[in-house]
Amino acid sequence: MAETEGNLQHYIPVSRASVKQRLFEELVEDEALAAELAKVSGLLEAIWHHRAHSMQEHLKRLYEQMDPDGASQPQMDGFEDFLEVFESALEQGNWEPVSDEEMQAALEGEDVFPISLHVRFDEFEQMRLYRLGEMLLLDERSSLFGMRKRQVEVQVYDRVIQLLQFREKEWFEAQRRLKHHPGDNTNGLHLRLFKTVPKLDLETIFPNTSPNMRTLDKVKIIVPLVGGLVTLGLKFGPVIAFALLGVGGGAQGSLSLSLLGGLLSALGTYILKTYMSYQKTREKYLSRVSKDLYFKGQANNSAVLNMVIDLSEEQEVKEALLAYTFLLTRRQQWTQASLDEAIEAWLSTTFGIEVDFEVDDALSKLDALGLLRREGGSLSVVDAAEALALLDAHWDGLYDY
């Protein structure tokens, strides 16, 4: 492993359907058992979907009054209650908060976009970022002034959720920054979900930024200007000096003044050209950021809640199913440590992903459903037929009116 265990992600970046298919293909030889396991998986999915639906409805009720897309004026009275339930759902789905260190690294560096953005953080009443999963993607870069292309690896977050609440209009007025006030349509609590966001370009997902060009790009613009000024000074400096001093008589003085006017006009044109070059470069960067965000945006506001719950549900079922299938099909003396190691190795070999599998969480799920058996430090599970009966009874007991 390239990373230490503590730095690995808990998130399993493979779909539930893919995990099921490969599990049953590689670990189950008997067709009858595979059929029973498919039914066990179906019941696990139904039970967690029911639980997820309850949390989803609860979240929607809490968020409704803060939703900027709602019919009434957003109210933030229930923010703390919403945040507690929301972060609980994120934790179940293996989301993690973006740390101050990670945000600072993004502000100081750039990855895909050759531009830095200044984020006006003080304009937010509330601001939180959450990330899910990390991976490496290939990106094409230009070198030697665009004459050569090369492939580089870029570290990205699989998904990022942004939670924002802007300050009131009165705050912008008091700070004499009314031009930055985003308008009344930004009231309430804003939720945004993005995919494949480069770690060092996190600032590009913020709506209130000012572009800062890289030193290299500033040099590309400033150096030709300074070079032009030096060339003009060396070539025509004496003539300009004589013209200003009136040396050489009236006719020559008039000619020199005309030359001076022409040179100043040329210089002004060159400065204007340099400024237009800067603006063109700046617009190119902003256009690329805007286009990239268009394709990276996945959901806004209440739609984010749906995706968070769906992803959380997938993670929960994958963890429980992996643990149950390994304990059932591989007859050996299992301990929590050996099960954890075996599942992580299988995920690495089968899907090429390095994951810190949450074995304790997976086992607690099986234990709560009555599927797990513990004898000292040894682990086992009930057979598939008994598991189906237990899960069916659990399902039937969800409502007892």
The 10s digit of each residue's pLDDT in 159-210 is 999 999 999 999 999 999 998 888 877 899 999 999 988 888 888 889 888 7
Report how far residue 320's alpha carbon sits from residue 16's, in angstroms, rounded to the nearest whole number: 11
pLDDT for position 238: 63
**pTM of this prediction exceeds 0.85:** no
Burial of 398 (0-12, 13-18, 19+ CB in 10 A): exposed
Report how far residue 345's alpha carbon sits from residue 208's, in angstroms, rounded to the nearest whole number: 44
Report how far residue 143's alpha carbon sits from residue 110's, in angstroms, rounded to the nearest whole number: 16
* Domain definitions of the chain by residue range: 5-56+304-396, 98-212, 216-283
Residues of the chain with pLDDT under 50: 1-6, 144-145, 255
Give the CA distances from residue 320 to residues 216, 316, 387, in Å, rounded to whole numbers and listed in that order. Answer: 51, 6, 13
pLDDT for position 147: 55
pLDDT for position 136: 81
Dihedral of the alpha carbons of 369, 370, 375, 378, in degrees to the nearest 10: -40
Report how far residue 141's alpha carbon sits from residue 348's, in angstroms, rounded to the nearest whole number: 30
Dihedral sign, Cα of residue 335, residue 336, residue 342, residue 345: negative
The closest alpha carbon to 369, from 351, 389, 341, belongs to 389
Tokens representing 99? 């740390």
pLDDT for position 144: 46
Dihedral sign, Cα of residue 386, residue 388, residue 391, residue 395: negative
**210-265 pLDDT tens trace:** 776 666 666 666 776 676 667 666 666 665 565 555 555 555 555 455 665 666 67
- In the chain, the amino acid numbered 191 is L
Give helix 79-92 / helix 31-64 axis angle, nearest 10°.
Answer: 160
Inter-residue contact 26 to 18 (CB < 8 Å)? no
pLDDT for position 4: 35
pLDDT for position 344: 96
Q: Is 149 helix (H, G, I), strand (E, B) or coil?
A: strand
E-state strands within 278-361: 297-300
Pairing of strands 115-119, 209-213: antiparallel
pLDDT for position 9: 85
